[in-house]
Amino acid sequence: MSEREIGTAEREIGSAEREIGSAEREIGSAEREIGTETVDACVVGGGPAGLVAGVLLARSGAKVIVLEKHPDFLRDFRGDTVHPSTLTVMDELGLAEEFLRLPHVRAPQLPMATALGPVVFADFRRLPGRFPFVAFMPQWDVLNFLAETGRRYPGFRLLQRAEVTELLESGGTVTGVRAATPDGPVEVRARLVIAADGRHSLVRTSGTLAVAASRAPMDVLWFRVGKPAGESLPTVRSGKGFFIVCIDRGDYLQVAYMIPKGGFEAIRAGGLPGFRAQLAAIYPVLAPGLEAAIRDWDDVKPLDVRVDRLRHWCGPGLLAIGDAAHAMSPAGGVGINLAVQDAVAAARLLAPTLAAGGVPSLAQLRAVQRRREFPMRVVQFAQLRLLADLYPNAGGPSTDKPLLARLLRRFPGLSHVVARVIGLGIRPEHIPPAHGDRLIVSGTQFRAPT
């Protein structure tokens, strides 16, 4: 080979080396742009269901990441009811006394004012266990408490400002998620993805899991108003064409005003003075604070209510729980507590496999749905059928003497049955012991996880 040929070859080799170096830099840049993490379970959604699932799986020894798209939990007009079933879960974790030191209002009864006279909708005072009441507690306090509890376990991580944009699949099995964060995209590889991201879950909008049934009984308008003197308990009022709930938040009331489905635009068309006058006529004690509370329509937050469920809650590598699996009406405030029960059941049935380094089988995932579907269907039936004439109805006659009010007036003892169904639920879930934890037993306080 001539010197010229040798020189040409050396230049070509040098050029190739530069191209390889450039490619390596591009690959390194791409790897920096897309962070990756591998865990046992990836929970999508940092609401009650997602955080409880994350805490319980980490408690079992699994490595868990919870992805929450918001930077914090400070969002108003969320459900605030913590039922005895959820308090029992906290108790079994050894956390009840610490949890109940958070600001809250206890309601041993839920009174309801009707055209027939006052009735007690639910009377919790005879419930078995340590918690014969509903606690009304701001949900941001509940979620912050759960997040702090999770951080006590080395396998728990909460990543906020992480919005899941895509499910990752391989051979028909979900193997993780891709999320957008302020620091760039992140890929989380997991042996199980738990969708706990609510009624607008990615598994719904992407069509990964299909909705089997859907009903829309009414909508809700949320707003807050200064608390009148003497208003110390959450109060329910119903009458012909209206249903209103006031939740005591300490120095103000959080009000849920049920309206006919799709009726918000008609209310807006009537103007703010007309809306305030309508509320004052329904619940006169609120009248003095309405003008200061509702100055423009931004002070009124509409909630599009849907009651539905997925046909299948799971697929290979994927499980939906809470509102992602079954959207509930706010009636009875049971949605949060059903979601927590889903999370407890999922952790109890799946944690041993995940903590041992295994992949939950499709049969194991289906077992969660079998366990929780019947209680959910009972509650949805009650919300759609037994309570139907409590809701304002744009498509037909409404009544000021709903069936439930008539029954409770005639048979006051039914309030204890209602309390048991909504307070403890059908087929309540319990926390199994885990290494390093102790339980509340017979009312005695033992060590909480540290």
Q: Is the domain of 163 the same as that of 280?
A: no
Q: Which two tokens stand for residue 425?
A: 């639920």
Q: Is the domain of 295 the same as that of 414?
A: no
**In this structure, what CATH number is given to the domain that contains residue 372?**
3.50.50.60
Q: Is the domain of 112 the same as that of 165?
A: yes
Long-range contacts, stretch 406-414, CB < 8 angstroms, 24+ apart:
406/116, 408/112, 408/119, 408/120, 408/121, 409/116, 409/117, 409/119, 412/119, 412/120
Distances (CA, A) of 113 to 250, 331, 421, 438: 21, 16, 21, 43
| Partners of 225 in the β-ladder | 253
Q: Is the domain of 295 the same as that of 341?
A: no
Contact criterion met (CB below 8 Å) for 400 and 350: no
User: Which secondary-structure segment (H or E) carries 254?
Assistant: strand 252-259
Q: Which two tokens stand for residue 408?
A: 């409770």
Domain annotation covers residue 445: no
Q: Is the domain of 210 the same as that of 336?
A: yes
Q: Is the domain of 81 the same as that of 187?
A: yes
Distance CA 360, CA 337 (A): 25
Domain annotation covers residue 434: no
Domain annotation covers residue 281: yes
Q: How much is the pLDDT for 449?
A: 40
Q: Is the domain of 238 the same as that of 379?
A: no
Q: How much is the pLDDT for 443?
A: 36
Q: How much is the pLDDT for 29?
A: 45
Domain annotation covers residue 438: no
Distances (CA, A) of 381 to 66, 73, 118, 194, 377: 32, 31, 25, 26, 6
Distance CA 9, CA 81 (A): 77
Domain boundary among 244, 271, 304: 304
Distances (CA, A) of 1 to 4, 12, 54, 89: 8, 15, 68, 82
Q: Which two tokens stand for residue 347?
A: 């952790």
Domain annotation covers residue 24: yes
Q: How much is the pLDDT for 282?
A: 86
Instruction: Please provide residue 8's backbone torsions phi and psi, each rounded to the nearest 5 degrees.
Output: -60, -45
Q: Total domain count for the chain? A: 3
Q: How much is the pLDDT for 4?
A: 56
Q: How much is the pLDDT for 393?
A: 65
Q: What SS3 state is found at 231?
A: coil
Domain annotation covers residue 429: no
Q: How much is the pLDDT for 21?
A: 52
Q: How much is the pLDDT for 333?
A: 79
Question: Which residue numbers in the chain have pLDDT < 70?
Answer: 1-34, 75-78, 230-234, 388, 393-400, 434-450
Q: Is the domain of 156 the same as that of 91?
A: yes
Q: Is the domain of 211 the same as that of 228?
A: no
Q: Which two tokens stand for residue 139?
A: 């949900």
Domain annotation covers residue 444: no
Domain annotation covers residue 435: no
Give me the half-sphere count of Cα atoms (radius 13 Å) on the Cβ side of residue 93: 27
Q: Is the domain of 285 the same as that of 348?
A: no
188-201 b/e (C-beta count within 10 Å ≥ 16 → b):
bebbbbbbbbbbeb
Q: How much is the pLDDT for 321?
A: 98
Q: Is the domain of 68 the same as that of 93?
A: yes
Q: Is the domain of 298 the same as that of 389?
A: no
What domain range includes position 236? 219-259+262-304
Distance CA 341, CA 327 (A): 14
